C-alpha cells in the first residue's frame, strides 16, 4: 500500500485491510480517493481557505472542514516514525474523538473498543508490509514520555524476516 492509499484510508475512515482489498478492482479506491487526497494535502501545504477546498472537491464547506481535520489526523498517523507510533497516534485520535463525543454509555465504550481493534488490525497490515513482528516494536509500544531512556534504547535490530526462512 502506498502512502497516498494509507492517507485515503485514514481520511475517508477505511481500515487499511478494507482499502487494500479494493485496490485494483475499484476506481474509487484506485483513482478518485487518491485524487482527493492530493487536493487536500496540497490545500493544507498551501493553506487554502475552506471555501477553496470545498470548491476544488465540489463539496459543502462543512464537509471540507471535516476532510481537512481528517487530513491533519491522517498525516500524523501515516507519517509517524514507525508502526508503533502510527498505532499510538491512531489510538489517541480514537480516544479523543470518543471523549469529545461523550464516552457515557456501555455502547459508546464498546464502539471505542471496536475502533481500537480496527487500529490494531491496521498495525497488523503495517507490520506485514515490513515483514516485522509486533514484538520488534515492544519497546516503542511501552515507551513512557515521562521517562528518560538511554541513547539507543529504541534502536531495535530489525532484521529482514525473509532471511529467517
Model confidence, pTM: 0.85
The total of other beta-carbon atoms located within 10 Å of residue 49's CB is 11
**Cα(119)–Cα(94) distance, integer angstroms:** 9
Specify whether the CB–CB gap between 10 and 119 falls below 8 A: no
Quick: pLDDT tens for 118-153: 999 999 999 999 999 999 998 888 888 777 655 555
Angle in degrees, CA 156, 159, 165, rounded to 5: 145
**Cα(164)–Cα(89) distance, integer angstroms:** 31
For the chain, the structural domain boundaries read 1-79, 82-142
Quick: pLDDT tens for 29-72: 999 999 999 999 999 999 999 999 999 999 999 999 999 999 99
Amino acid at each position: 500500500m502506498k502512502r497516498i492509499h494509507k492517507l485515503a484510508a485514514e481520511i475517508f475512515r477505511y481500515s487499511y485491510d478494507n482499502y487494500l482489498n479494493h485496490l485494483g478492482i475499484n476506481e474509487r479506491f484506485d483513482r478518485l480517493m487518491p485524487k482527493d487526497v492530493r487536493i487536500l494535502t496540497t490545500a493544507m501545504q498551501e493553506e487554502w481557505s475552506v471555501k477553496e477546498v470545498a470548491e476544488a472537491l465540489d463539496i459543502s464547506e462543512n464537509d471540507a472542514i471535516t476532510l481537512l481535520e481528517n487530513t491533519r489526523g491522517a498525516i500524523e498517523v501515516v507519517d509517524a516514525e514507525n508502526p508503533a507510533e502510527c498505532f499510538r497516534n491512531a489510538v489517541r485520535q480514537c480516544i479523543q474523538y470518543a471523549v469529545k463525543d461523550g464516552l457515557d454509555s456501555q455502547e459508546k465504550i464498546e464502539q471505542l473498543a471496536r475502533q481500537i481493534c480496527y487500529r490494531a488490525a491496521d498495525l497488523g497490515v503495517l507490520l506485514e508490509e515490513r515483514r516485522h513482528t509486533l514484538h520488534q516494536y515492544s519497546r516503542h509500544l511501552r515507551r513512557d514520555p515521562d521517562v528518560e531512556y538511554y541513547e539507543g534504547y529504541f534502536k531495535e535490530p530489525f532484521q529482514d524476516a525473509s532471511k529467517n526462512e
